[in-house]
Amino acid sequence: MEDVAVVILNYNGRAFLEQFLPTVLACSGHHTVYVADNASTDESVSLLQSFPTVRLIRLKVNAGYAGGYNAALSQIQARYFLLLNSDVEVTPGWIESLYQFMELHPEAGACQPKVRSWHRRTHFEYAGAAGGYLDWLGYAFCRGRLFDTVEEDRGQYDDARPVFWATGACLLVRSAIFRQLGGFDADFFAHMEEIDLCWRMHRLGHQVWYCPGSTVYHVGGGTLPQTSPRKTFLNYRNSLAMLYKNLPGSQRGAVLLVRLILDGASALPYLFRGRFQNIWAIIRAHFAFYRWLPKLRRERRNQERASAKVVLYPRSIVWQYFVRGRKTYAELKR
């Protein structure tokens, strides 16, 4: 069994593979690099013939990020899985820093590097930045990114620390824990699945860490752009499902009620901008969540024994950001 398997999940990402895969290979040393192709219809697979050291795993259907990685990782034997988006530029030493940290911290189930923007290299990147958190209503934010405000990296978050979630754009996870948890929830398809995985990891008593000794640059939006109605649907539906699955029963009803109301309010900006497809995506997401409830109830019963205390940010990030005007992580009231 190898120590670290680098696994890139690809869907119609030929251009990204051509651009970033050579750097991944150059900076990955002796570690094996896999490309799991999620039934691409472009020329991704033929391109990989130019990279004979890459091991190709061909998946028969596009099962999204969650299902695609589950299927691919079931075929790989390694102590650690390093999940990497195809639109990420890595840097020298990126693996070693993460690997050495995990070896020294057995309490950590997963970790992530510092994630900067490929387009704006002095700034953090939206999806991960310097580690992720979740407020009590299920809104995700990062050190270095609150909603659409992304901070410049001035070294203010150069300390390694436990976080609530690590980004799926570049995630090192212990394979034994990943398999113990049953991997990602494949029903999520894409978006929020890494936060759900980290939440379940916390409930089993493991930690998730941010490791600034490793830096990568993420393009972001390589599969679905930020304004896509499909992305809106997945984010809203999966966020509700994640709350239902993981919140204590005493909190679940009240939190979900508030979230449903806030989801409705969040449709107003789309109305003013004339983006009616995004409004319809929010409505569809709610009804999809309702249809999902019977299965979610069964999953909750299967997870009840995972009862370690999980700490969410106790205030509303929506209130802090939009009402109090706190635009950076350092300004948040604890």
Q: What counts of helices (H) and strands (E) characterise the chain?
A: 10, 13
Going from the C-alpha of 36 to that of each of 98, 152, 181, the distances in angstroms are 22, 33, 21
Full DSSP string of 179-227: HHTTSS-GGG-SSSHHHHHHHHHHHTT-EEEEEEEEEEEE---SSS-TT
Question: In degrees rounded to 5, what are phi and psi of residue 70?
Answer: -55, -45
What does the pLDDT look like over 251-275, one tens digit per residue?
A: 999 999 999 999 999 999 999 889 9
Whether the per-residue pLDDT at 100 is higher than 70: the answer is yes
What does the pLDDT look like over 132-175, one tens digit per residue?
A: 999 999 999 999 999 999 999 999 999 999 999 999 999 999 99
Beta strands, E only, the chain: 2-10, 32-38, 55-59, 78-85, 88-89, 108-117, 132-134, 140-142, 145-146, 149-150, 161-163, 170-174, 207-218
Q: Which pLDDT does position 187 carry in this prediction?
A: 97
Going from the C-alpha of 291 to that of each of 193, 244, 254, the distances in angstroms are 19, 13, 19
Sequence-distant contacts of 21-28: CB under 8 A, at least 24 apart: 21/51, 21/54, 21/86, 22/51, 23/89, 23/90, 24/84, 24/90, 25/51, 25/53, 25/54, 27/90, 27/91, 27/92, 27/93, 27/94, 27/95, 28/90, 28/95
122 and 152 in contact (C-beta within 8 Å)?
yes
What does the pLDDT look like over 236-251, one tens digit per residue?
A: 999 999 999 999 988 9
Q: Which pLDDT does position 305 carry in this prediction?
A: 62
Q: Over the Cα atoms of the chain, what is R_g?
A: 19
Look at residue 239 and give its three-state secondary structure. helix
Write the burial class of residue 175 (CB in 10 Å: 0-12 exposed, 13-18 middle, 19+ buried): middle
Pick the CATH number of 2-218 from 3.90.550.10, 3.40.50.620, 3.50.7.10, 1.10.287.70: 3.90.550.10
Range(s) for CATH 3.90.550.10 in the chain? 2-218
Whether the per-residue pLDDT at 38 is higher than 80: the answer is yes
The pTM is what? 0.95
72 and 9 in contact (C-beta within 8 Å)?
yes
Look at residue 278 and give its three-state secondary structure. helix
Sheet order of strands, 140-142 included:
132-134, 140-142, 145-146, 149-150
Residue range 301-320: mean pLDDT, rounded: 82
Integer Cα distance of 198 and 179 in angstroms: 13
Whether the per-residue pLDDT at 304 is higher than 80: the answer is no
Q: Please say whether the dihedral angle defined by the alpha carbons of residues 12, 14, 19 and 24, taken in this order, is positive or negative.
A: positive
Q: Which two tokens stand for residue 137?
A: 């209503």
